[in-house]
A and B are shown apart, each in its own frame.
Chain A
């Protein structure tokens, strides 16, 4: 059944949009909104009402290498994807005939990639998503081509490392199915782990392979950069968790290397973010910082840390999407994205200001929001592990305060005080398609912070299965 809402409906809708969009771009955008909304409703019904319902598609899913493990993450991908399509409906308007098909392909392949247990199947979805993203980044033309160049070159290098890792997995274990991997000599595991980390790490934006992130996120249309920063990045981190822990044994030296890289990533991103005056570049660096926190959980490697890490993956999708969409709303309403040209927007855009501050506080790990719960779980696991990890946890904690200061600085300058250029900012009307996702995501960030237990319990079972293999 899950294959229907993660893959089939979005892909059929994408094909429909491509056909309709030739003659009628307005009808194509309506089709995209309807298709994704239908997919999200079906996913929600499946998830909350009757998880035993089957459309007879489960055997097809198994045959092509998809599994229901990780379905919670796929559900959140579909949900966020739906919000992105709603948002695009107002933000992009009547997009050309390639926008919606490519966006829907990225959403569906991301959702499918997180539930892939077959390395070849994962590779197909991973590559289709990467190539579609490259074309979507060029959507606005001009400077976007340079950003797309950086994106496709660095991500193709990353893809080459990933495919070498996947091929090595296949050769070493003799099967494509990661759930059937047994124990192998540590030498092969070391090589595979490093190639996998570099390959997927490039897509996640790990320092030093992060240079494509600020350019791509600032030049891509806001809904696209929102989906890339919030969802694709976190989903790739989730795939890294699943594939890395499918290797037995998972090597301590690899985990320590990942932890140190994670702290370095958080440090570089937090310091770079603080100096940014372009809102989208600021958020791009903050998304690198968030990726570092998830990687730190992977580096700790205990089941408690992985639970925190997967919860952080889900929270990142919600929090990062919320803050990106809030900034997108500011850009849509004012046609400005430079901090100095903005100011005093809280009174004019109270819902957007609330969305931004909820997202910023959640990302900074401030209670009672969802980011606090997952970041607390990760840091606690770091202190419990011993060795170098308590020290790394303390450094990480200090660096997240730097990022928190960055968020507060941006909030103050954009929403509270008059901008440095002291010009009156004109604010235009924002449609319900832009406001609704901000409101829903804000509510979800609060709800998951106050009542995290059901989700954490579900993740706990998943992480135990992943770590135990």
Chain B
């Protein structure tokens, strides 16, 4: 119980940092989140899951960092203060949702379930509140981390874990490549601005 509380709070703090920080620093926060997930899996004696998450988490964070170095982050849609407020509000709403659904959370994983619902809420906040394509990618990667954590509840999940982690890296690679190409073509990775190009 204490372990999950410790890790849960750490995951939430790191995800809030992804919401607030710039592309580069948010990628480092993602690296922290992935490593925290990996260490948690290690405490759950899911060695394969821990290693796979550590590798894919490090590689995807490195890809985002590389893409961030080759692009320019667009101006944030919301100020840092507003983002912190939105994050706190999201945590509160997610907690209420988890509380109202808690009977549906799997037995033995209720505490984890609460944190996963909060992570889910925060990942949706990243997706709806950010303009940078790389930030949207980070939101998607937080969603993928939730899948990794749920997968740890299953037995004999090594193959599925391996497959999903490989695709995490491939998705990151594809979106980062397209972001770099967008920047080369339009001098911007601002999702809102790119959409306006079409009228």
Partner-B contacts on A (CB < 8 A)? 119-120, 123-124, 127, 131, 134-135, 138, 141-143, 145-146, 148-150, 152-153, 156-157, 159-161, 163-164, 167-168, 170-172, 174, 176, 187-188, 190-191, 215
Contacts and interface: CB of A to CB of B under 8 A. Distances in A.
Contacts, number: 105
Interface string B137-166: 101100110110011011101011001100
Chain B interface extent, by class: 35 or more
B178 A160 contact: no
Contacts of B153: 171
Given A157-B143, A164-B143, A171 B182 contact: no
A358 to B, nearest CB: 31
Nearest to A165: B147
Nearest to B139: A157
A149 B154 contact: no
Contacts of A170: 151, 154, 157, 160
B164 A123 contact: yes
Given A127-B171, A191-B104, A156 B140 contact: yes
A167 B155 CA distance: 12
Contacts of B139: 157
Given A146-B182, A160-B147, A120 B159 contact: yes
B144 A127 contact: no
Given A124-B167, A149-B179, A176-B160, 13 more contacts: A127-B167, A138-B178, A142-B185, A149-B178, A150-B195, A152-B174, A152-B178, A153-B140, A160-B147, A170-B157, A170-B160, A187-B104, A190-B104
A152 B143 contact: no
Query: Chain B contact residues: over half helix, strand or loop, or mixed?
Result: helix
B197 interface: yes
A259 B185 CA distance: 41
B143 A167 contact: no
Contacts of A152: 174-175, 178
Interface in B167-191: 167, 170-171, 174-175, 178-179, 181-182, 185-186, 191
A161 B150 contact: no
Contact of A167 (B160, B167, B175, B182): B160
29 contacts: A120-B160, A123-B160, A131-B171, A138-B178, A143-B197, A145-B181, A146-B185, A146-B194, A149-B178, A150-B194, A150-B195, A152-B175, A153-B191, A160-B143, A160-B147, A161-B143, A163-B144, A163-B147, A164-B147, A164-B150, A167-B151, A167-B164, A170-B154, A171-B106, A174-B154, A174-B155, A176-B160, A191-B104, A215-B198
